Structure 1
């Protein structure tokens, strides 16, 4: 549909390197117009954006950039501290979760790298390695059918798209403003080289990039779930929003170091009748993430005899004799966690096109492999004694009270004595250190063959048919989430926090932290984990090494037939597709003395009819309509695998998840209507209406293997000891509907330097909900990651060698996850303003500067319930700020 209007970098005008002036604005207009023409001439509704336009923006990753397109929004998962990187991970299309997208690289389905979702985390791909992105919102029968939301196709360049002997280098420097303000490492940068060489009918394109940056982020959150103030009021917590209070505040510092590198190698040979090609791409994302957390919170250290409260039926002493909450003896804690991860993606495609008269044959074979590895997850906790202020009779008198006057920066109520006791780092003694490992990978093979027969220019224009076979092997394993590698210090024998190598942070969110943020020396804690935690590996029960392992195979055989009929300006594309799916997985089943590996399998078929229609009353206008059936397959780990258990930072079991091999594929009927009109130059307007009717809905959210933060719910219950027990079903029905509006206009006739001003904007209004059962209760529920309002606005300027833009993006609130007894978690609205400018010093050399997050706004804010007044607990994200980023760009082409 629409090409983004980002200024492209200057490029030599012809193969020979003509010397005259290169007018940047003219080249930019040409690139935008070309993309608009491609989108208008596409078979169905398609959004197209070039890599040059993407690279002009200050955002560092694809999800953030593509989230500015009509009908799209980006999202991030904080269970692995990912929001603290300042980058989005996932892309949602039209109010549907990211797992409902199909992801391709040069037309090849990408391997899955997340264990519990089919969503692809786009943070491992750099815009420096992409030539074009196409988002197809209404695919024809010739495309894969498991694309309820649409298809995201990332493409690298053909050597014949560039000058015959092309070479270009791009460099970008970055400074993280928040890190610089805290006296931490703020530096980062990226360099990319690309070349295209053509020799007659043969061409080579090669590119390589490397990027590294440091990010420092800060957040606040509440400790543990909300509890009732008056326990005598009946009902669950979610039904008592005015009767809830948190149990302490946590202040989190995140130090992140990100590396991206990769490259592409494309070979292509052309003759009069045949084109042969090879397209290979590799990308890797490495994250070092260190979290330092201090808190004042409930610690349950007051002896029973010294607690004035009666003992309840669960053995707790939280409420007084009148049923009102009275948490005696708050304590202060320091908690350290790493979330290091390595992701990689390899994709290679060999194929060609042969034309024999009116017959065109397309064929390819492809392989891709994706990995996601958490090589060493370290956790350690230090804690102070509870401050109870015992009276003369030895009874505790000081209670934990948490104020919420500032929803972004809550505070614990402290008197001077409590403040002095709970901020003395010499009393913080180490309680434990532990390690965990997780790994998942998938490798995929596919082969496809298509034949198209051109028959006439009117009436039945062509017939097309083809088939495809795919085979994917999936593996996942983890160790340590049950505390098997935990080393516990004897009570009071652990090292004092202030004796550990490290430093106190210089400032924190306007000094909101009530306990100093201590940053442990990461080398010291890693060595300690090696000496105390990892030394337990040789003696670990061999069963523990196997019981979280899953290995599965998925295969799909598909075929389709598609016709093209043309009657004047009206073109019809009726088609039908059939897909046969099989799953088989082997995993450890915990059945007491009969425990061991077991195998589950299933298969299902999908018949997917479609009709795409377009009407072109002229060269500049197109009206489209589509009706199609599509589906989405549950991820391996939701279908097959062992019962999984999660534990909080104190080692207490807090959730149980049970996969369900009987899940059905989500099916949808999709209806789209749109109109697009091109004006002069790059002026353009469009409007689109869409409606989707879904059956067998699975509430699944894109997540980075979220241990400790369950984001996938359908049927869940609460066990007698308060543990959330979840399994899945696909009995829900849902609907999605909305409107997308887009406009771009360059002002005409402005004098002098004002010539070149223009505006662009898009607005999406949508609704997405489904009926489902949670804890035995029927709900009509908003679907996850579906904001009801998104809009983007841009003021741009292109005049001679200069170009600039001020952009603003807004994404409304959206559901993050469902809870049973607790309020559901929501992500509050996020807005971002960016500023950038480029100037072509010479025809071949361009410089640019940019500021990301000009307004220093938050980049993540999750709450318990839809209101902004109730900040979420730590594992749901809380309130996160990453600050501004300053960038300098250089491009040289020859």
Structure 2
């Protein structure tokens, strides 16, 4: 049963009112509107007649060469018209609409579309940048999407997921973004959720001789308030030139921004409070106990650089094109963390719990001794690059149309220098000389659910909060790198037969080959340097003789979120720590066992061949497009295998499987402004490379039994039957309404959430019961789970008419998605009914907009409900609490050439991320799950000049 809180009813009422207002216009929906009510820019194009089905050929073209003064309004109309005429279920947003928003990140921007929400991997500090990374469609994990740029499948750079990080692309490089939720058979079939279809511009979409310069300046409010670098800005120049039949579009952009994030999290996982109560921790959430708190500050420097060069040649019977895009995302992220935590006791300190060990007292209640103050420094620098190029054309031979292309893309994700360093003082136990039998246990209060506190006496404060007692005990570095190269070629043929009946037949084939590489070094501490110990101590955390936090150059943080940091936060001088790494950690590379350089390496190859056939039947206002697609996949991976019996070395394994994917999409258009749709299709999702072809673990027990663990030797592709329907109505101007119910039945469910390269949790669960294979005890994963996704999307946009004076131009719009995504999966020896990851049950956008003369304004509010972050076995699952954001945009157009604007992102200063242990907001998550994060407001000024 779907329930909605009172807090969200206002948005539902607003959209319901919008729908009523739209329907009340009556004949505007039922039949073409007469000339007296349509402005020259308003006509709706006829339904899409593109016979080839090629996704590059239905670009929206301008009807004249004039610079449009109110480009945003016309951009909205154009995308609505394209959506109405499309042959399948698609949501479209133009580049003009994207660039009008204050964000620079596509994942955040595309959440304005119905049924789309964003997510982020905080295991690498990404949420603290204030930007999202991944996109989810209709309650399915980010890996269930297909990602395309100008019709080319993007290279993947994440080792554990097929999701594509949107960090790589800027809205300045995108002319249009589409989310195709029921693609036809000519699209790749591995799109259970849908296709993220990004498109760059063509010279034939823009006025001849077009040149535009855009500039944006930014100030990050939280960074400014803390005395840190708040400045940022972006510049872009684009041009469209036509030389006879040749069109040239070129664009370059550069952006730099600084942000500051602050977070609070629990230091450790929650544990049982009363150990006498049986069952797993997840079975009784009223019997869990917190274990310390941490406070984090993230300094971020984000750099984006990219460009596009598109060439189009249009002839009478032949079109040729070349589309090339490059994007680079470079993040430098420095984290300083202070904490009050429980650690092992130092020599001379005695645990009073039974046996002088353990964490429970004689009565069985949680009793943690060893209250310690710590400082932790970490960098999460990353470089991401994407290059994509496509060459192709269209030949028209009578009634036969041929579309063909070859394409190459390369993506790379590199963590060039991941630094970690720890500082700690001696545990406080409450005795006069801080030795002997401990008398003070650590107690953590969660009275404020986003600002928990450790209970401290005055004596504890005096002992713990002196930064000169926090000594550095180690420094280390790590490296990671992943890249993928992808080649593809495709040929489509469409034969036009008639205007009614069997209108056309289309068929095509596609081949793609992929090569990938991944490697990492340092996770096991191979490059870790420990500072010398005092007096031969064997407890490096407490007696290391590295410099203290107070002695290292840096600056004290001027304030902190909610004033909750109990340990003073010092932002360490990053060059000082980097110099330590060069002197102390890097020299360890020379003496490293060469095997260490191989143990995490994975080389992979993937080939896919696809072919399809589909037909278009048209009778009157009804169009039916049945189709079938076949795809053959083959994977091959080479990786380092540790084997106690045969020795260590590289091994190669392979896997292949086939998929038949039928589909049928029907559209009924009683007028140019109304379309009813229905669709049934089968789709699938391919497992990520190192989920499918991970190393096999072989061990030999004392009794001679050989045990083998193969992570996924029979891992099936996830498959789904998808049923979609919709009603779409186009009104005057930018008025629009649609309602879209949907249902998906998914087989072979495997929970594996999108994360960055080798980071975060690998949320894969299945049977782990041993089975006998030729006398060898073998354990494997299971993909026999099944899931159901169902929901409804409601979209509305309406401009109020006949308002007096300055009120003319006021309108309201938005969308709501209500959904449920459930699955039965095998976890910890039992079947569990479970929400799917990244699947909020409620999402909505509401916008109040204003267009009058040359002035434009918009106030929009985005809400995403709570969602599952990771699935755990004996412990409570992790959830992301609801996230909302309000943005304000103002703009003014001066004549035909100049537009200025200002915007505020996150106007209400809301949190950007909030992870909890279980769905209960009171139970804040631990540090690696993210905790509670704020990044503040961002203020922007915009200027564009066209000539």
1:623 equivalent in structure 2: 676
Counterpart selection for 1:864 from 896, 917, 922: 917
Contact 2:898 2:944 in 1 (8 A): yes
1:162 equivalent in structure 2: 206
1:102 equivalent in structure 2: 146
Contact 2:238 2:252 in 1 (8 A): yes
Q: 1:809 to 1:716 in 2, by over 3 A?
A: farther
Q: Verify: 1:417 aligned to 2:470, yes or no.
A: no
1:267-346 equivalences under 5 Å are: 267-303=311-347, 306-311=350-355, 316-346=357-387
Shift of 1:424: 0.3
Q: Verify: 1:553 aligned to 2:594, yes or no.
A: no
Q: Verify: 1:371 aligned to 2:423, yes or no.
A: no
Output the CA distance in 2 between the equivalents of 1:435 and 1:230: 40
Contact 2:823 2:833 in 1 (8 A): yes
Q: Secondary structure at the match of 1:277?
A: strand
Runs of 4+ more than 4 Å apart: 12-18, 302-305, 715-718, 725-728
2:470 equivalent in structure 1: 428
Q: Verify: 1:505 aligned to 2:557, yes or no.
A: yes
1:781 equivalent in structure 2: 834
What CA deviation, in whole Å up to 9, does each residue of 1:94-124 have, x standing for no partner? 0000100000000000000111000000012
What CA deviation, in whole Å up to 9, does each residue of 1:822-879 have, x standing for no partner? 1100000000000011001232011000000000000000000011010000000000
Q: Verify: 1:602 aligned to 2:660, yes or no.
A: no
1:664 equivalent in structure 2: 716
Output the CA distance in 2 between the equivalents of 1:529 and 1:823: 38
2:268 equivalent in structure 1: 224
What CA deviation, in whole Å up to 9, does each residue of 1:629-682 have, x standing for no partner? 0000001011123379xxxxxxxxxxx997423211000000001000111111
What CA deviation, in whole Å up to 9, does each residue of 1:398-452 have, x standing for no partner? 1100000001000000011101111100100111111111110100000000100
Output the CA distance in 1 between the equivalents of 2:153 and 2:742: 25
Output the CA distance in 1 between the equivalents of 2:830 and 2:457: 44
Q: 1:16 to 1:97 in 2, by over 3 A?
A: closer
Contact 2:794 2:815 in 1 (8 A): yes
Output the CA distance in 2 between the equivalents of 1:765 and 1:513: 38
Contact 2:482 2:757 in 1 (8 A): no
Counterpart selection for 2:515 from 453, 473, 486: 473
Contact 1:79 1:706 in 2 (8 A): no
1:140 equivalent in structure 2: 184
1:748-827 equivalences under 5 Å are: 748-827=801-880
Shift of 1:713: 3.7
Contact 2:912 2:933 in 1 (8 A): yes
Output the CA distance in 1 between the equivalents of 2:851 and 2:480: 49
2:155 equivalent in structure 1: 111
Q: Secondary structure at the match of 2:87?
A: coil
Output the CA distance in 2 between the equivalents of 1:64 and 1:727: 38
Q: Verify: 1:880 aligned to 2:922, yes or no.
A: no
2:739 equivalent in structure 1: 687
Counterpart selection for 1:829 from 862, 867, 882: 882
Moved more, 384-393 or 546-555: 384-393
Q: 1:801 to 1:13 in 2, by over 3 A?
A: farther
2:6 equivalent in structure 1: none
Q: 1:755 to 1:727 in 2, by over 3 A?
A: farther
Shift of 1:571: 0.4
Q: 1:716 to 1:188 in 2, by over 3 A?
A: farther
* Stretches of structure 1 lacking an aligned partner (at least 5 in a row): 1-11, 645-655, 719-724
Contact 1:588 1:641 in 2 (8 A): no
Shift of 1:705: 2.1
2:165 equivalent in structure 1: 121
Output the CA distance in 2 between the equivalents of 1:711 and 1:175: 37
Moved more, 391-400 or 488-497: 391-400
Output the CA distance in 1 between the equivalents of 2:396 and 2:120: 45
1:41-80 equivalences under 5 Å are: 41-80=85-124
Counterpart selection for 1:200 from 233, 244, 250: 244
Contact 2:519 2:602 in 1 (8 A): yes
* Stretches of structure 2 lacking an aligned partner (at least 5 in a row): 1-60, 534-539, 698-707, 771-777
Contact 2:348 2:436 in 1 (8 A): no
Shift of 1:307: 1.7
1:584 equivalent in structure 2: 636
2:57 equivalent in structure 1: none
Contact 1:689 1:740 in 2 (8 A): yes
What CA deviation, in whole Å up to 9, does each residue of 1:332-363 have, x standing for no partner? 00011111000010000000001011100000
Contact 1:15 1:164 in 2 (8 A): no
Output the CA distance in 2 between the equivalents of 1:712 and 1:429: 39
Q: Secondary structure at the match of 1:67?
A: helix
Q: Secondary structure at the match of 1:822?
A: coil
Q: Verify: 1:174 aligned to 2:225, yes or no.
A: no
1:632-651 equivalences under 5 Å are: 632-642=685-695
Output the CA distance in 2 between the equivalents of 1:195 and 1:797: 29
1:4 equivalent in structure 2: none
Moved more, 227-236 or 850-859: 227-236
Q: Verify: 1:523 aligned to 2:575, yes or no.
A: yes
TM-score, length basis structure 2: 0.89
Contact 1:717 1:775 in 2 (8 A): no
Counterpart selection for 2:436 from 394, 402, 405: 394
1:653 equivalent in structure 2: none
2:897 equivalent in structure 1: 844
Q: Verify: 1:889 aligned to 2:936, yes or no.
A: no
TM-score, length basis structure 1: 0.94
Q: 1:290 to 1:366 in 2, by over 3 A?
A: same
Output the CA distance in 2 between the equivalents of 1:717 and 1:442: 35
Q: 1:258 to 1:728 in 2, by over 3 A?
A: farther
Output the CA distance in 1 between the equivalents of 2:639 and 2:447: 49
Shift of 1:707: 2.9
Q: 1:778 to 1:311 in 2, by over 3 A?
A: farther
Shift of 1:16: 7.0
Output the CA distance in 2 between the equivalents of 1:229 and 1:836: 50
Q: 1:865 to 1:108 in 2, by over 3 A?
A: same
Q: 1:813 to 1:112 in 2, by over 3 A?
A: same
